[in-house]
């Protein structure tokens, strides 16, 4: 069922209507097949680009749409309800453009950002390493200045769109000074010395390619450094604050899809001469699922409105990510229970939803990290 949304204007209403049409007709019909066959939806991302959806929250000056985060996140939610892989990919792409949009020079933005937002290019965000996940300041991929270029050596891990992206917003170590020794490079995918390992074999979101990216003496022009040397960690953490809101919205969309499928099935499935939705045990289960979805939606919207108004939103972003991803895990698990034995089969999508719901609790900062961020913010108030 369509979520009733309180949107700020008719333009936002028209945008959501467009997204619902694309989601229903172009994305949802392909999701199960692509996930089962592990097919990367590159053409679907190009469709989103042609539809103006790959640059929504960025200025029109560089080819974006200037859409508020409040509206952009609801677009993500609608797409996630149809196909989680595509929604997460859109969120990752948006985050991959953040460093250039916020920290690049006007000359860099003029040169690179229009192509990144137009839809033909797809981005990836390269921060994590095998030994530097939650502890991002421990990353070791090294960039040494050699004339006009940085020579980059090291391996990035768990990169969404690894081997598929056209550019990688990459955090590298330019000095041994801990978190203050990290810088940000905008690396083209065709850089000599840059290669992708075989994709990871995952339990869910199998159409979304995740791979290690290997830098073997890769030469990246110094003109592609975003911001000053040493502020890469600041850029990365700032991007993650907004990226966490994207993941929260995706998680809510996934949970909404699971709730919708559960309600539909419970209305159609009869036992003891009655639709199972009429039994109190089922009513209470579905009610709790609906409460979890709507509470999580309200949380990410509150954080987005704070962001749009220029207010601090770091704590609210972590709360939204924590609440929404925990809700998605519970709601999708309960959806399998609602469908019973049928829910455990691949004839219905809820078993896939349950598998997909796990990873949002892990990426963009694990939920344990979100609790640390929230507690630290409370201590500092």
Residue among 70, 78, 356, 364 flagged as catalytic: 364
**Tokens 């040397």 appear where?**
229
**Beta strand 225-226 with 210-221: parallel, antiparallel or unpaired?**
unpaired
Helix (H), strand (E), coil (C) string for the chain: CCCCCCCCCHHHHHHHHHHHHHHHHHHHHHHHHHHHHCCCCHHHHHHHHHCCCCCCCCCHHHCCCCCCHHHHHHHHHHHHHHCHHHHHHHHHHHHHHHHHHHHCCHHHHHHHHHHHHHCCCCEEEECCECCECCCHHHCCCEEEEECCEEEEEEEEEEEECCCCCCEEEEEEECCCCHHHHEEEEEEECCCCCEEECCCCCCCCCCCCCEEEEEEEEEEEEHHHEECCCCCHHHHHHHHHHHHHHHHHHHHHHHHHHHHHHHHHHHHHCEECCEEHHHCHHHHHHHHHHHHHHHHHHHHHHHHHHHHHCCCCCHHHHHHHHHHHHHHHHHHHHHHHHHHHHHHHCCCCCHHHHHHHHHHHHCCCCCHHHHHHHHHHHHHCC
- Among residues 23, 53, 42, 329, the alpha carbon closest in space to that of 208 is found at 42
Would you tell me the crossing angle of helices 350-358 and 84-103 to the nearest 10 degrees?
A: 30
- Within 8 A by CB and 6+ apart from 96, the residues are 116, 123, 124, 125, 165, 167, 168, 169
- Is there a catalytic annotation at residue 120? no
Point out the residues that are catalytic.
364
């Amino acid at each position: 069922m369509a979520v009733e949304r309180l949107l700020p204007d008719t333009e936002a209403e028209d945008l959501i209507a467009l997204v619902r049409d694309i989601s229903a007709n172009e994305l949802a019909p392909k999701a199960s097949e692509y996930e089962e066959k592990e097919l990367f939806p590159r053409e679907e991302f190009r469709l989103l680009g042609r539809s103006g959806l790959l640059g929504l929250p960025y200025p029109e000056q560089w080819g974006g749409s200037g859409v508020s985060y409040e509206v952009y996140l609801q677009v993500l939610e609608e797409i996630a309800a149809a196909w989680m892989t595509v929604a997460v990919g859109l969120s990752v792409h948006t985050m991959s453009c953040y460093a250039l949009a916020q920290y690049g020079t006007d000359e860099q933005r003029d040169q690179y950002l229009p192509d990144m937002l137009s839809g033909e290019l797809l981005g990836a965000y390269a921060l994590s390493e095998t030994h530097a996940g939650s502890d991002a300041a421990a990353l070791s991929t090294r960039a040494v200045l050699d004339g006009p270029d940085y020579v980059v050596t090291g391996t990035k891990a768990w990169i969404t769109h690894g081997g598929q992206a056209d550019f990688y917003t990459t955090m590298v170590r330019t000095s041994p000074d801990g978190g203050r020794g990290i810088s940000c490079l905008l690396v083209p995918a065709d850089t000599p010395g840059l290669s992708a390992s075989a994709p990871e074999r995952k339990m869910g979101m199998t159409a979304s390619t995740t791979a290690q990216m290997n830098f073997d003496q890769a030469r990246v022009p110094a003109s592609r450094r975003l911001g000053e040397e040493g502020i890469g960690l600041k850029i990365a953490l700032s991007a993650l604050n907004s990226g966490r809101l994207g993941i929260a919205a995706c998680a809510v969309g996934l949970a909404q899809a699971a709730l919708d499928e559960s309600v539909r099935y419970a209305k159609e499935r009869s036992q003891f001469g009655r639709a199972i939705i009429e039994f109190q045990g089922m009513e209470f289960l579905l009610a709790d699922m609906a409460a979890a979805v709507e509470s999580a939606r309200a949380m990410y919207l509150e954080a987005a409105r704070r962001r749009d108004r220029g207010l601090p939103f770091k704590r609210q972003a972590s709360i939204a990510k924590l609440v929404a991803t925990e809700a998605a895990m519970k709601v999708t698990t309960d959806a399998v229970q609602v469908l019973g034995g049928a829910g455990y089969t691949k004839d219905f999508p809820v078993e896939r939803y349950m598998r997909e719901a796990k990873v949002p609790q892990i990426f963009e900062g694990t939920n344990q990290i979100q609790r640390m961020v929230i507690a630290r913010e409370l201590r500092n108030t």
